[in-house]
């Protein structure tokens, strides 16, 4: 029997790539997603990439009874990877209650039901937003948690505390929290990638949609930050590299290799690139010129942050290996594939 893993938000961007990597590693995957920011046909594309069709249930993690029934029906789930969350920084500033409800209650429901159904571990999709603007760069896992710059960032901080408190209370749960930096790119097959509903909230889909003519112009928010070219600096990580970190984390939980019941790892490249660096790399790797303009700063944005990934590299044996050029080219190939499929 293959070990069963539940992936919440599994038709989403990072979720779908992680499902493929789990299947490639011999796990049986069950996906739940409410399809609020994804489409059910992603399941078809997962099957095209991996050759295996995961079980899919359209279900919201806010639906406690629905989750309870699913765990009863799909017996033997060993662990959960929890992606399902609202994730746009700007939107969270405008709609804080939506973010607190979606992102906190979904996790609480899962943690409440895990002991009842014998589910022993959870890998939580956290974020470098928990560090706010770090005092020292690159940022390690020991950096202080700063007051969040946005409700979205705050939900990640609170969820980490919820997990720690739940495990500390004696609940029979193990957890690994992966603090991602900025996931970008697409699967090299161009069958999976980032496809937001409506106007993209993330940078690279906006770049590729602008490059192909769906969006008229890309706005770069601020060029007066304390950085070499005045634009924000981020640590951009390839989504497939990121997905592989989740498989290693699941292996670590199920093989009882954790040093502590709750562990935290930074998942990044260790390289800081500015927004203009990224635009230049996109133009270089694709040969496509981008129409962009500098506009004012955006609420909730952090000036600069990049990872010190040494702990994940050494302890997990995981390392980001895909170049920024190959990553951006994969995102562009995905956008071209979407056009072939008639998707704008």
Q: Just list the catalytic residues.
A: 152
For 218, list phi and psi in degrees, rounded to 5: -90, 130
In the numeric block, the tokens 């500033």 are attached to 93
User: β-pairing, 273-274 with 233-234?
Assistant: antiparallel
Question: Alpha helices, DSSP H only, in the chain?
Answer: 13-24, 42-50, 64-73, 89-94, 96-100, 106-113, 151-168, 203-212, 239-254, 275-286, 310-311, 324-340
Nearest to 130 by CA among 110, 105, 155: 155
Helices (H) and strands (E) in the chain, counts: 12, 13
In the numeric block, the tokens 């009882």 are attached to 256
Q: What is the dihedral of CA 120, 37, 267, 119, to 10 degrees?
A: 0
For 304, list phi and psi in degrees, rounded to 5: -155, 140
Peptide bond into 138 cis (omega under 30): yes
Question: 255: exposed, middle or buried (C-beta count within 10 Å: 0-12, 13-18, 19+)?
Answer: exposed
Nearest to 234 by CA among 283, 185, 279, 274: 274
Instruction: Give the C-alpha separation, 344 to 334, whole Å.
Output: 12
Token digits of residue 205: 């889909």
Token digits of residue 181: 């930096």
């Amino acid at each position: 029997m293959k070990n069963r893993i539940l992936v919440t938000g599994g038709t989403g961007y990072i979720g779908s790539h992680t499902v493929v990597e789990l299947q490639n590693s011999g796990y049986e995957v069950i996906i739940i997603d409410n399809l609020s920011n994804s489409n059910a046909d992603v399941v078809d594309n997962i099957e095209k990439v991996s050759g295996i069709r995961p079980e899919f249930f359209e279900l919201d993690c806010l639906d406690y009874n629905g989750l309870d029934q699913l765990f009863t029906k799909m017996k033997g789930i060993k662990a959960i990877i929890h992606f399902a969350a609202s994730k746009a920084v700007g939107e969270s500033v405008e709609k804080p209650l939506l973010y607190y409800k979606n992102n906190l209650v979904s996790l609480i429901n899962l943690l409440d039901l895990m002991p009842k159904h014998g589910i022993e571990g959870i890998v939580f999709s956290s974020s470098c937003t928990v560090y706010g603007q770090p005092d020292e760069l690159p940022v390690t896992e020991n950096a202080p948690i700063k007051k969040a710059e946005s409700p979205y960032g705050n939900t990640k901080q609170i969820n980490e505390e919820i997990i720690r408190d739940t495990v500390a209370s004696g609940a029979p749960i193990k957890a690994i929290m992966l603090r991602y930096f900025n996931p970008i790119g697409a699967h090299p097959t161009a069958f999976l990638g980032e496809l937001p509903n409506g106007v993209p909230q993330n940078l690279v889909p906006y770049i590729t949609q602008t490059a192909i003519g769906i969006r008229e112009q890309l706005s770069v928010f601020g060029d007066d930050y304390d950085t070499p070219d005045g634009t924000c600096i981020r640590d951009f990580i390839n989504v497939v590299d990121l997905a592989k970190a989740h498989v290693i984390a699941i292996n670590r939980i199920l093989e009882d290799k954790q040093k502590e019941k709750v562990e935290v790892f930074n998942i990044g490249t260790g390289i800081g690139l500015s927004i203009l660096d990224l635009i230049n790399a996109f133009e270089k790797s694709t040969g496509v010129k981008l129409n962009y303009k500098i506009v004012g700063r955006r609420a909730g944005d952090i000036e600069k942050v990049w990872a010190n990934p040494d702990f994940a590299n050494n302890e997990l044996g995981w390392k980001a290996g895909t170049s920024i050029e190959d990553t951006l080219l994969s995102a562009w190939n995905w956008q071209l594939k979407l056009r072939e499929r008639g998707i704008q």
